[in-house]
A and B are shown apart, each in its own frame.
Chain A
Amino acid sequence: MRLHAEICKPLQIALVLALVLAVPLAHAAGLGTQLLGYRSEVQYLLAQHLRLVGWVALFSVGIGVPLGIWLSRPSMQAWCEPVMQVLNIGTTVPTLAKLAIAMLFFGLGTGSAVIGLTIATLMPIVRNTCVGLQSVSPHLVDAARGIGMQGRQILWQVELPNALNVIVAGIRTALTYATGTAALAFLIGGGGLGELIFTGIDTNEPAMMLAGAISTCLLAVLVDLLLYQVQYWLIPRGVNPYRPLRS
């Protein structure tokens, strides 16, 4: 029963959110049929959008997690903060500006969008990975070393499992954000649901704009939900805050 409720809670929130957004709008403007009219465009662009987010996820996790692990090593202590500050700059520059800069260097297209968005999402992943690993109790590492585990074994069997919650939380934040902001990719020719939004604005067609906005929003909620499931099932039982143990 309890397990069931744990899984369903975010799902309920998502549904309520969707209803809150969709029902009154559709009702007020009689937009329901108009929105459905964009079904095929949404379908096509959604796939494009997902591909874009997929690439961003692959690169930001693929670069961010190893970088975070590397920075968390005691020998890298002096480098940790400087690198983090550089990444911080990458985050504080507005995403639109980052995309524009990426376009300057790499031209129009999906590639530039992926690069720009990856830079935007790297920071929470690296920081959470690094901080998560650094906050694993030094006594665990001492005990592990004392009983004869080697560096790599300690990392995989002790440090990463115990930091996983913080690491995945960072990935969850980053990718949910990336899904929403990927709408901007359209502006540098990266495609995606932004096409409906911006074209809708430009041509003064609120239904088109809403079709893009609502689907982007729902997609972001779904990505968040998916990563919640990753947390729920992937984090080891003994340290999983989403599945508390009976004491």
Chain B
Amino acid sequence: MITLENLSKTYASSGLDRAVDQVSMTVGTGEICVLIGPSGCGKTTTLRMVNRLITPTGGRVLINGRDTADVDTVDLRRGIGYVIQQVGLFPNMNVEDNICVVPRLLAWTPARMRERAAELLQMVGLDPSAFLRRFPNQLSGGQQQRVGVARALAADPPVLLMDEPFGAIDPINRAAIQDQFLEMQQKLRKTVLLVSHDMDEAVKLADRIAIFRAGRLEQVGTPDEILTAPANEFVAGFVGADRTLKRLRRKRVAEVCTRLVFSLGSTVEVVAGGCSGQIGVGPTGAVESLVVDGRSLAPIALRTDVDLRVAVSELLRLGVPWLPCTDGAGRLHGVVSLTAISRHISGLPELAADGRLGPFGERDAPAR
């Protein structure tokens, strides 16, 4: 757990202006907290005060209850992973030596370091046999940052500081490396402070988002809280007029779909979002035919674990009010409708309706 208490930084050269002004917040263990705001808002300064690369002029930083000012700076930093946008891999060392910098400082045995480097490369999605002996200049930007993340994790620090880690990577690779980072985080449960200027990245990665302006903390909250109820006009402007669409990314089809009760190898009659249709269910539970609003479609179904952005995109692409959804094994699970999504997102109660308005509960979807 990281606690910032009235954390402030004033630079002597800038007179009375505070680069960071009385910032107080708490990041729970295992949480990813994204610090975000326009350039010069103090987010990077705040991050760098956590590992004391910048010495605070006021306030305290507590990590798991211990004031970081009381810990030896070098020991403190060795216990905190640090990733920067420019990656900062040492070009004179190969990938293995780069990853093992901190373990070497901590005097691990060579065998343990070798093993750890290979394990970490595997974890960040690079083949150890191909990459351990390469040099940073032989890697692409995305590969370099994967190694950068591996280096930060080498000594298994409980806390990770990341300063725009994926900012310099092309969009396709960025999405892939973000997904992989989230997957790793599921297992590792590090406490992560991540600086970003990309709201989409923040919504995708964060458990909590902290929005900064001119050294002050404007709002802290879960992505949903911030997107639903921006604290002031600045936050509203910063998260964008399409903030409701951004919320779709954080929600899964499973949260809004309506269960269907059916028997295998039958045709299920469905009425949802004001439109009726039939879903043909195969002997294994797979969707084999689909008729929506009198139109016969290719048997398409959404998985319950995709996010609502994808779901809405598919619904709009096909021009249908609802689509069937399937579980991880490809078995029909229920239907997801635009009406259900819009009611869920706007916070209206779900209607267990008469078959015309909202989606309906299990009891309303009879198997015939």
Contact = CB atoms under 8 A, between A and B. Distances in A.
Given A140-B90, A238-B93, A245 B78 contact: no
A82 interface: no
B92 A162 contact: yes
A219 B89 CA distance: 41
B77 interface: yes
B84 A239 contact: no
Contacts of B137: 238-239, 245, 247
Interface in B76-90: 76-79, 81-82, 84, 86-90
Interface string A146-185: 1111100100011001100000000000000000000000
A247 B77 CA distance: 33
B92 A143 contact: no
B242 interface: no
Tell me what chain A mostly uses at the interface: helix, strand, loop, or mixed: helix
B176 interface: no
Contacts, number: 81
Interface residues of B, number: 30
Given A162-B91, A238-B136, A245-B135, A146 B86 contact: no
B105 interface: yes
Contact of A143 (B74, B88, B105, B138): B88
Contact of B91 (A144, A149, A153, A239): A239
Contact of A238 (B76, B79, B91): B91
Contacts of B89: 143
A142 B84 contact: yes
B77 A147 contact: yes
A238 B137 CA distance: 7
A142 B53 contact: yes
B152 interface: yes
Interface string B64-83: 00000000001111110110
Contacts of A147: 77-78, 81-82, 101-102, 151-152
B94 interface: yes
B91 A142 contact: no
17 contacts: A139-B86, A140-B88, A142-B88, A143-B90, A146-B51, A146-B53, A146-B77, A146-B84, A147-B82, A147-B151, A147-B152, A148-B74, A148-B78, A161-B90, A237-B135, A238-B137, A239-B92
Given A143-B86, A145-B77, A239-B91, 18 more contacts: A143-B82, A143-B89, A144-B90, A146-B53, A146-B77, A147-B77, A147-B151, A147-B152, A148-B76, A148-B105, A150-B74, A158-B92, A161-B92, A161-B93, A237-B94, A237-B135, A238-B136, A246-B138
